[in-house]
Amino acid sequence: MNDPTLLRQTRRHFFQECGIGLGSMALAGLFNQQARANSLNIAHHIAKAKSVIFLFMAGGPSQLDLLDEKPELVRWDGKPIPQEFIKGKRFAFMDTFAKETPKLLASRRKFTRYGKSGVAISELLPHLGTVADDISIVRTVATNVFNHAPAKVFMNTGSPQFGRPSMGSWLTYGIGSESNNLPGFVVLQSGPRGPRGGAACWSSGFLPSAFQGVPFRSGGEPILNLSTPKGIEPFSQEKVLNAVKELNQVRLADTGDPEIATRIHSYEMAYRMQSSAPELIDISREDSRTLNLYGADVRKPSFARNCLLARRLVERGVRFVQLYHADWDHHGGGDANLEKGIEKVAHEVDQPSAALVRDLKNRGLLDQTLVIWGGEFGRTPMSEVRETTGRNHHIDSFSMWMAGGGIKAGGHMGKTDEFGFSPVEDRLHVHDLHATLLHLLGIDHLKLTFKFQGRNFRLTDVHGNVVSKLLA
């Protein structure tokens, strides 16, 4: 009776040969549960947020020109940075710093104080200033990795190694999604190119593939190959899908492979999305006031359009929505500079980002939606020697902002030194960000684990603390 081969044969006989009755009913119940992606549906404490929208600024925005005003840099502008700041430090492009001691670079941007807190925000983000009392700026975020692709992967997965689950995957694995007709984790992209690191940033890693992010296109067909081919009648399509499902069910009962359950779920979700996805991306029915708020042109893919789609997704119960907007890599040289380059990309995201916060608040959704804005790292207080003005990658301290979902409104946090090089108060590491995100959605980051290769893994690895100072 302890022979594993006999046990497998017994299960197979039970599921395949039982016909109708208890066996088939149990199997149907099993498939129904698996179609909901086998989430743990855990709740370690009462959640403040139901969903997350992560506005990912791919390339590394310069915090010193956007969110971290440094008047002392004006006095030191053009002077070599003191050696005690950079001794033993590594940067992405060491050759630009190796020839001579890098010179400090003051921001050429004016900062204005906004809201009751009087927080300083750059002239590049005037719309963000109008919601200053609804957001919390953190100026002391730190990360471990200074090259784009692994840094993006680290920000998303807590590890620079490809193949780990992303935060959206961990979240949907832990608590599932409230949407039956759309994926629980959706990815939207804008800008001139996709993010370095690509699909590894929204991968499910070693979690079942049902939890990976699903990229949506913001125009045309939302998901390629989703529509029914021409000439195929609904009745014929349904017969094919039912036949495929039955074959997959037999194989699942035979092997117990969870990836087959994922395949069943994917077919069923795709069938439902044939109607739900086109309806989702059709923003023409939004009123003109809403479209003007975002600056969204319904005819063109853009970050503004994606911000509006993000709101529509969380309204429909999607758990995690991630927007990637590229072109923040301003080293100097060509258009990648702190003159016209940063002006262009800041203009593209400023109004829509602020509009998203305002729109969610007006609809009563901000309290239950956590909004995060930021990139994979920041920029140095020193300039790079190139034909136009730029800054190198910087991991010791950079700025992000958050809003809603249990975040303290107007509770701006963190202080850097006089040059903005390092934190001097309230350092927040990427692992702490992940721990806080999970906490706000009702999850103890120490308890959300998955056993792989002989040990339990978690999003925060062996690190991370919930940042209570950020919480409302």
Torsion angle (degrees, nearest 10) of CA 17, 19, 22, 28? 100
Mean pLDDT of 328-350: 96
**CA 280 – CA 284 distance, rounded (Å):** 10
* Residue 272, in any domain of the structure: no
The pLDDT assigned to 93 comes to 63
Phi-psi region of 226 (alpha: psi -120 to 50; beta: other; left: phi over 0): alpha
pLDDT at position 387 is 82
**How far is the C-alpha of 414 from the C-alpha of 399, rounded, in Å?**
9
Least confident window among 9-13, 379-383, 464-468: 9-13
The tally of CA atoms less than 13 A away on the side-chain side of residue 27 is 24
pLDDT in tens, 215-270: 987 555 666 555 566 666 666 666 666 777 677 778 777 777 766 766 666 656 66
pLDDT score of 67: 98
From the centroid of its chain, how far is CA 456? Answer: 23
At how many degrees (to 10) do helices 258-281 and 303-315 cross?
Answer: 120
Confidence of residue 11 (pLDDT cuts 50, 70, 90): very low
CB 144 within 8 A of CB 430: yes
Domain that holds residue 152: 50-225+287-470
Side chain identity, residue 313: L
Determine which of 9-18, 50-59, 116-125, 447-456 has the lowest per-residue pLDDT on average: 9-18
Q: What is the mean pLDDT of residues 133-161?
A: 97
Percentage of the chain lying above the pLDDT 90 cut:
68
Residue 263 domain flag: no
Asked, for residue 350, whether it belongs to a domain, the answer is yes
Say if 369 falls within a structural domain: yes
| Sign of the torsion formed by the C-alpha atoms of 391, 326, 206 and 443 | positive
Task: Return d(Cα 362, Cα 248) in angstroms, integer.
Answer: 45
Half-sphere CA count of 271, side-chain side, radius 13 A = 17
pLDDT given at position 274: 64
What is the CATH number for 381?
3.40.720
Beta strands in 233-339 (DSSP E): 320-325
Q: Report d(CA 237, CA 328) in Å as an integer.
A: 45
DSSP secondary structure letter of residue 166: P
In a domain, 38, yes or no: no
Going by C-beta distance under 8 Å and a sequence separation of 6 or more, which residues neighbour residue 198?
none
Q: Is 20 domain-assigned?
A: no
Work out how many domains the chain is built from and give that number.
1
Give the distance from CA 284 to its chain's centroid: 26
CA geometry: angle 227, 55, 267, nearest 5 deg: 25
The 10s digit of each residue's pLDDT in 355-367 is 999 999 999 999 9
4 assigned to some structural domain: no
72 vs 94: CA distance, rounded Å: 25
Mind giving me the DSSP string for 301-324?
--HHHHHHHHHHHHHTT-SEEEEE
The pLDDT of residue 191: 93
Contact in structure between 281 and 219 (CB atoms under 8 Å): yes
Give 337's DSSP letter: S
Whole-angstrom Cα distance, residue 461 to residue 87?
Answer: 29
Whether 332 is in a domain gets the answer yes
